[in-house]
Amino acid sequence: MPPPAEQSLSDILRDSGYFDAAGNLRLDFVVRDRLAPIAEDMANAHPPLTSHQVRRFFQHCRAIEAKLRAKTSTWAAEEAAFRQLDVAAADAFGKMPPKIPELFHDFIKSNVAAVKNEKDFLKGFLPHFEALVGFGSQYFKERERN
């Protein structure tokens, strides 16, 4: 039975993880109708999530992915670097004024907590984050220079 439409992605993630019973990524984590509204909310938050900020976090993940896929490193060696994402988000949110919106901080925090192994990272979290970045590209603006 599919989750009710009002169930948040955070709730699905906490209750069931990224994958269905057959081991496939749940579509809720990559479909436009679930991710685009979240991206728009992040872009309209205070402070708004900028393309610079989201790319900074996403590129950190891509660097870890590249090492894992090239087999120049292992999940055991890269897991701490991945967990640092939560630290970076907490720092950016805790600044005065905050550099990222609370909604993005919560996204990073809940997703980092949900990743238990390399499969969760490569096949669950990364496609989910990629969907947020992709659908958010129309909403996330460059930061204004002062």
pTM: 0.90
pLDDT in tens, 30-68: 999 999 999 999 999 999 999 999 999 999 999 999 999
Chain Cα centroid distance, residue 95: 20
pLDDT in tens, 115-140: 999 999 999 999 999 999 999 999 99
